[in-house]
Amino acid sequence: MPFTPLPRDRAAIPNGYTWDLHAVYTDFPAWHAAQDELRRHVDTLAQYRGRLSADAGILLQCLELTSAIGKLYARISTYASAHADIDTRSAEYLACQQEIAQIGTDIGAKTAFIEPELLQMGRDAVDRFIGAEPGLAVYRHFLQDVLRRKDHTRSESEERLIADAGLMADSPGGLYTVFSNADFPFPTVTLHDGTTVHLDKAAFAQHRTAPHREDRRTIFASYFDAMYAYRRTFGIGLYNEVKKNLFYMRARGYPSCLQSSLHGANIPMDVYHALLANARQSLPLLHRYLLLRKTLLDVDELHYYDLYVPVVPELDLTYSFEEAGDLILASLAPLGAEYRTVARRAFTERWMDVYPSDGKIGGAYSNGAVYDVHPFILLNYNGKYDDVSTVTHELGHTMHSFLSNRTQPYPTAQYSIFVAEVASTFNEALLMDHVLHTVTDKRTRLSLLVNYLDGIRATLFRQTQFAEFELAIHELVEKGETLTGDLLCELYLRITREYYGHGKGGCTVDDNVQIEWAVVPHFYYNFYVFQYATSLTASTALAEMVLAGDIAATERYLALLSSGGKDYPISLLRAAGVDMTGSEPFTLMMRRMARVMDEVERLL
């Protein structure tokens, strides 16, 4: 059935398409009561200060209290952020977020004694305590990880200062979120048929696929020009974010912001640098894809604003949300009936907030932090195949969180960001495989194959391009240089043009693309973006094994989703069958990309 957009007024959206937060707290009075309970727990932490080395039982009590505080804090924080994200204009919801952030800082300050005391005990004493107290077994990985990070853990007083810095740490990201979603003066444009469109984030994502080329050019130019007018504001925000990362780097004695970010999850630096090098070496494949898109669109010169439009213009593939759900659930069959049963609950039990509405944050995410309930998915569904792919992407995160929370005790349930995007991109691979096996129409198949290549461009090459930009701006600040909006624009445009083969027969990257960095919230997530690319290479390798009918591979993959954070992500992925310290996953991804382009060329 054709997709019919719902009104942007949230009150007009049926409840079935909005998430139900009552399972977290019935209302804000209950939420405030939980806050009071959390504060009482935090106040009792002081009784363990200076006593952790006295007895294994005391250490266990302290860690169990800390774990309970963390679980309750995550629940309270999720309730506040979920409300704020559906209406970024609300001062009340923003105040709730700020309240809980201050409590989080207080928790960090009042638990600052734990790691220094553990380091004073030393490895032998910690191991002896683990052997003497069975209850400490669940904390084994945490305790060993604390000892691993010994060189970057400071004294108790210094740790308290670092924790207190959290009062300011979220300011750049918080300002960016509110300004770019609620207060930014988004432009209104008139399309070739006289239709006017208010180009907020969701509308831009929807209308950048416009079939009329002049409309696309107008949409990109208007949106980016509006952003560019505020380049100084966006620039100072991102500069402050990088300075925040610089502070933590120096405070903990790391040689670079990158190493500071990767060390927590024990990710080798070589993984990051190898990704950038492999992507650069594989740019000819990206340029081959761009040439294919140029041919399919039948344009003399491919522009950046042509990258999102469907390549078969007469074929308007749209899906109602119900159709999307049926398609996704069918695609998950290789993972078994139990996996699909839980996934179906996400659609039927209001785990999702589906449609865009005024004031709602843009993009999509899955939040699995509420350990005792279920994950929540935020979407801005517009009915295109990309939107269907986004739903299954976020559902992959949700299933990862659900299985980890169900299988692991809370202390080991939270998985690393490095492995997080594996489950999401794995689901996308299953969806594409299912669709291609059920579609025989040549034009539809061509459209979907190119859509898959679009995904590789966006997830592997584009995110690696972002990672190169992010590393470059951090290295500039580490050298003592400052970042301005103009400098960021210049750097971003240069890197983007190098990736897309600007002026060399690839894609023309117009000057207004220089401000695109201001559209990317992930630059406020401290070296997050590269993990989209590494996870895609890992999930592609895993999906090919599962789709080949390898039962053992399927079992290993489901075990990965159930492992939470009981080990380091590199080790968990190796146990699942992928070694991320080598180049093989990336090479396999490039071979798959080449095979898909071969099929596109045969269809042509």
Helices 442-456 & 417-438, crossing angle to 10 degrees?
Answer: 170
Residue 157's contacts (CB-CB under 8 Å, 6 or more residues apart) are none
Share in percent of the chain as helix, strand, coil (round to 5)? 70, 5, 25
Are 154 and 251 in contact by the 8 Å Cβ rule? The answer is yes
Beta bridge partners of 188: 198
The amino acid occupying position 321 is F
The full DSSP string for 475-544 is HHHHTT----HHHHHHHHHHHHHHHHTTTTTS-B--GGGGGGGGG-GGGGSSS-THHHHHHHHHHHHHHH
- Give the span between the Cα atoms of 498 and 405, in whole angstroms: 43
Q: Please, what is the end-to-end C-alpha distance for the chain in angstroms? A: 28
Catalytic residue, chosen from 394, 428, 468, 516, is 394
Distances (CA, A) of 579 to 43, 414, 582: 44, 21, 6
Report helix, strand or coil for 190.
strand
Are 170 and 176 in contact by the 8 Å Cβ rule? The answer is no
Rg (CA), the chain: 24
Of 538, 593, 522, 554, residue with least CA distance to 422:
538
Of 562, 564, 333, 550, residue with least CA distance to 434:
333
Please indicate whether residue 394 is annotated as part of the active site. Answer: yes
* CA neighbours closer than 13 Å in the CB half-sphere of residue 7: 6
Work out the widest C-alpha separation in the chain, in whole angstroms: 77
* H-helix or E-strand spanning residue 198: strand 196-198
- Give the span between the Cα atoms of 181 and 171, in whole angstroms: 15
- Give the span between the Cα atoms of 296 and 194, in whole angstroms: 28
The full DSSP string for 357-412 is -TTPPSS-EEE---TTS--EEE----SBHHHHHHHHHHHHHHHHHHHHHHHS-GGG
Of 234, 197, 198, 192, residue with least CA distance to 214:
192
Strands 352-353 and 376-378: parallel
Catalytic residues: 394
